[in-house]
Chain A
Amino acid sequence: MGHRFDSVQQVRDGLKDVHYLADEGIAGVVFLADRLGKPVLVEGPAGTGKTQLAKSVAEATGARLIRLQCYEGLDESKALYEWNYKKQLLRIQADRNSDAWSEIHDDIFSDEFLLTRPLLEAITADDPVVLLIDEVDRVEVETEALLLEILSEYQVSIPELGTIVAKQIPLVFLTSNNTRELSEALKRRCLYLHVDYPDMDREKEIVLTKVPEVSANLADQIARIVRSIRQLDLKKAPSVSETIDWARTLVLLGIDHIEAQQAKETLHILLKYQTDIAKAAKELSIDK
């Protein structure tokens, strides 16, 4: 079976082409996921590009992205498959008098009457796909078990049809915001990747790629201020996406060099709590 990537470096380059700057760790784990044919569980603070990673990998490999958004109350019929019972009913009524029972029975439980949901769709796809199971920590612990078969064996068992095995092994990403501990069984089946806030140099690079209008000087300043803010004890540290928003704002305002006053006025883009804003403003201007 062919691999998508030849080396870790190729992963990095590929992702870079689609404007996703991966560090050594991220690229390494993606590479391993491809080689070992294992899903990747991505954890980390909100807004560090977990979902974006899956999207970018899909784009870089030219695969189709299939996304399953998890929520409380998600069940089999939304995640895996469902029988199209209206169609089944029609089928039964259409030839009420002619066919023998066994024939109809075999007929209505066939592919034609099966509605595929994201998980099954990812498995039965002929073209290369990337499966993204977003915010997996939102489903109940019991529902998690639904995923286990597909994650370890890449197959789905349907009682009436038998087992459907994947035609090709898709790359699978699961993201979690860590609102609860995931079950051991799920973790064991995955490679684990923790995506944290990027270090200063990488953040600068990210700002430069995402906001091309920004000057190198300004990007450097932005990255440094954001790093200082993250070191404060805040309720919610600024995420990467907020950094990018801030950079865009500054560019729109035509600012090329951040003064304390301007930083203070635009701080509400980076921080979303009033106490955080007050604290950051205090730390950045008055202290030392």
Chain B
Amino acid sequence: MLECKNLRKTYFRKTAVDNISLELEEGKIYALLGPNGSGKTTFMKMVAGLVKPTQGTISYKNQQIGVNSKKEVAYMSTEPYFYNYMTVEDVGKYYADFFEDFDMSAYRELVDEMELDMQTRVNKLSTGMMAKVKLAATLARKAKLYLLDEPLNGIDLLTREKIVTAILKAAGEDCTIVISSHLVEELESFIDGAIFIKNGCNVMVGDAEEMREIQGKSIVDMYKEIYA
């Protein structure tokens, strides 16, 4: 469903992504792995259409990234991005106004599950609470491709479980999920595929189970070996 060829993004002298080529299949959960500054966020932003590649191509269902892909791709940024005047409820209304696949009742349910108040202003939320709102807004869409950038960042252990449950609930045969995280241990148990990114390049991409069999080690151990 998603195909990237020789993807490159430079910001003047700095190279954020340097030659990423990969294909993602429908109905799978991928872990996008790599240390800080390896290019994970830039890659996700390019797929979401927020960053234009300097070189290379990205196609989603054989079409260039654009208005049509944005209808089906749900991106959750690691940084807060809601307008300051908004309440948690306003965020839901905004998504409902612009995304046809957004389900307000699912959003309310997720907000309840994450113990948030609909009337709280987003600029009053802590990092962890903000992450929950972003995740609730993203997962309340019935998207075909979810790009979750560090969804477990700043989240306590108990809430992490809730978030992982919510992600797994959103997963289905017709949707693909890409999760970037440093917390490899948290993802190891439920991912179908893994993408290892180092210095802006994908050093290893594939089926998680096959990787484990071929390498004879867990994804966590592979992570340690690649980035040591």
Q: Do the two chains belong together in a single complex?
A: no
- Enumerate chain B interface residues (CB-CB to A < 8 A): none
